[in-house]
Amino acid sequence: MLGANQYGKSEIRVVKVIRGGERHELRDLTVDVTLRGDFEAVHDGDNTGLPATDTMRNVVYALAAEHPLDSLPDFAAAIVAHWVADDAVTQAQARIRELPWQRLEGNAFQRGAGGTRLHAVTGDAEGTTHEGGLEDLLILRSSGSAFSGFARDRYTTLPETGDRILATVVTARWYYASAPGEGSWAAVRDDLLHAFGDHESASVQQTLKHMGEAVLERHPDIERIALTLPNRHHLPFDVSRFGLENRNEVFHATTEPYGLIEATIERG
């Protein structure tokens, strides 16, 4: 028998220029739409009542034209509301990624930094839930990070250190108790960045927990946050072989292999 199933349209690229007089705003979005419903007959060759994925794409573009796009949570919720109103759909999800653009001058832009914004809304007849997040947030601290006291055996070659570079690419997902405002994402990102550098770190694990706790402390509407912090190693390069003094200034940056630290911080 057919088990759980869903389908949808992925990687719908939407760029909207919001023309407010002489000063334009830019939203660069990638939307995934997923539907669940009574679609068992489709798997047996009967497409009656099935929304086409091409239609899902068109709905996203039409709603982007109608919506002011001043709030990503509201736009995602509008997509979900459209599909939940379809009798054949029991659950809909809209997951949106936003690429940042930074204004140069006037109406010229360059691709910005600060990570890729994520927002997902899942809805059914009972209501909607909101999930925020970010990806590709590359951060580094050049001091205040140590790693020592770990287990050692015959295979351990890693030296202990009281001063190392700590670099990572943050991926985070956080889950709201209710619909957030448009400014919530930037505030959470800023709190993560501040917490990354405001303490003496004994390990990536300690830093991860500290970052998650900072978000929960400052945002009572967030129930939990899941963080992934890969350790982007920066290994000291021995320049003494060239007759030079090692001053802990020159490093070999490598991405493979890497330590992968993941955890969810939630309210007790």
Q: State the catalytic residues.
A: 9, 53, 233
How far apart CA 235 and CA 183 sit, in angstroms, is 38
End-to-end CA distance of the chain: 40
How far apart CA 231 and CA 255 sit, in angstroms, is 8
For residues 184 and 151, the answer to whether their CB atoms sit within 8 Å is no
Q: Where are the alpha helices (DSSP H) in 67-139?
A: 72-84
What residues are paired with 94 via a beta bridge?
33, 121
Single-letter code of the amino acid located at 114: G
Residue pair 96/76 in contact by the 8 Å Cβ criterion: yes
